[in-house]
Amino acid sequence: MNDPFRLDGQRALVTGANTGIGQAIAVSLGNAGAEVVCAGRSSMEETLTKVPNGTALELDFSDPMAARDVFTDQHIDIVVNNAGIIRREDSTDFTEADWDDVMDVNLKAVFFTCQAFARAVLARQGRGRIVNIASLLSFQGGIRVPSYTASKHGVAGLTKLLANEWAAKGINVNALAPGYIATNNTDALRADPERNKAILDRIPAGSWGEASDIGGAAVFLASPAADYIHGAVLNVDGGWLAR
């Protein structure tokens, strides 16, 4: 019997794969047997030393249409939309530029990457998997990150809409909502004794998550084991939202 969690023979595109959660997803998909295209605007050199069968692709998602031609040039079975940015400022002082920059990368690029991928999958009458990276701020408000919160609420809604349109056409669309994960993006929080304690006190699991926790969940949603899962936003948060 074939292992339903294996991805042998599949080709995956992971955006923002140079570090942190994106890198862990690329490594996990590679370890599950997929060939992984690691895409982003930064060097993928470190990631490629960890991914068993990986290649790099330079894409800058500050251009929301950056991936418009990717899927006509090469066969891709799985897309993980992980690339994202954040800007912090009081809402009274937040600029239009910071709003637009975040929305372009975190939401607009996600939609048009999904669209380009779906067009290619439907044209070949094949199957496809999309895993979008949402956030705890797809459900909560946060503070001082208005465009990030809006974009991640948008990712959750977009995931459900695309699942409604494409589930019957052979494309699974789901999302992961990472909790507090120990990466370079959260170094400052973990180094602040008060903030670190407050966060840990809220997490039922009692610890920060590891990037590999998100990688494992991404493998699941990209695998045949998730064939009947459509439009889900899976929290990987140590129980944060259940508290």
CATH code (residue 97): 3.40.50.720
Q: What is the pLDDT of residue 228?
A: 98
Round to whole Å and give the CA distance between 59 and 237: 29
* 155 Cβ contact partners less than 8 Å away, ≥ 6 residues apart: 81, 106, 107, 110, 132, 133, 134, 135, 138, 175
pLDDT at 188 over 90: no
- Give the residue carrying structure tokens 């239009």: 96
Q: Please give the backbone phi and psi of residue 7, each rounded to the nearest 5 degrees, phi first.
A: -125, 25
**Which tokens is 106 given?**
């975190």
- Res. 1: pLDDT tops 60: no
pLDDT at 186: 87
Q: What is the mean pLDDT of the chain?
A: 97
Mean pLDDT score, 194-213:
96
pLDDT of residue 229: 98
The tokens describing 24, both together, are 């862990």
Is residue 127's pLDDT more than 60?
A: yes
> By the 8 A CB rule, do 199 and 181 touch?
no
- Structural domain range at position 35: 11-233
Considering the domain boundaries, does residue 171 fall inside one?
yes
Q: Is residue 165 part of a domain?
A: yes
Is the pLDDT at 180 greater than 60, yes or no?
Answer: yes
For the chain, the 3-state helix, strand and coil shares in percent, each to the nearest 5, are: 45, 15, 35
pLDDT band at 185 (very low <50, low <70, confident <90, very high): confident
Looking at the whole model, is its pTM more than 0.75? Answer: yes
Query: Which two three-digit tokens encode residue 181?
Result: 């994960």
Helix (H, G, I), strand (E, B) or coil at 240: helix
CA 221 – CA 219 distance, rounded (Å): 6
pLDDT at 184 (0 to 100): 85
Q: How many CB atoms lie within 10 A of CB 203?
A: 18
Binned at pLDDT 50, 70 and 90, residue 52 comes out as confident
The answer as to whether 242 is a domain residue is no
Whether 146 has a pLDDT exceeding 60, the answer reads yes
In a domain, residue 1? The reply is no
Please, which pLDDT band fits residue 189 given cuts at 50, 70 and 90? Answer: confident
What band does 158 get if pLDDT is binned at 50, 70 and 90? very high
* Max Cα–Cα distance, the chain, nearest Å: 58
Q: Has 148 been annotated as catalytic?
A: yes
Residue 5 domain-assigned (yes or no)? no
Residue 134 belongs to some domain of the structure = yes
Q: Would you say residue 185 lies in a domain?
A: yes
**Of 10, 11, 14, 39, the residue nearest 131 (C-alpha):** 14
Confirm if 58 and 67 have CB atoms less than 8 A apart.
no
Of the candidates 61, 71, 148, 208, the residue annotated as catalytic is 148
Tell me, yes or no, whether 240 lies in a domain.
no
Question: What is the number of domains present in the chain?
Answer: 1
Q: What span, in angstroms and rounded, lies between the C-alpha atoms of 91 and 118? A: 36
CA 160 distance to own-chain centroid: 15
State the pLDDT at residue 96: 98
Taken as a whole, the chain contains a residue count of 243
The answer to whether 212 and 154 have CB atoms below 8 angstroms apart is no
DSSP 75: -
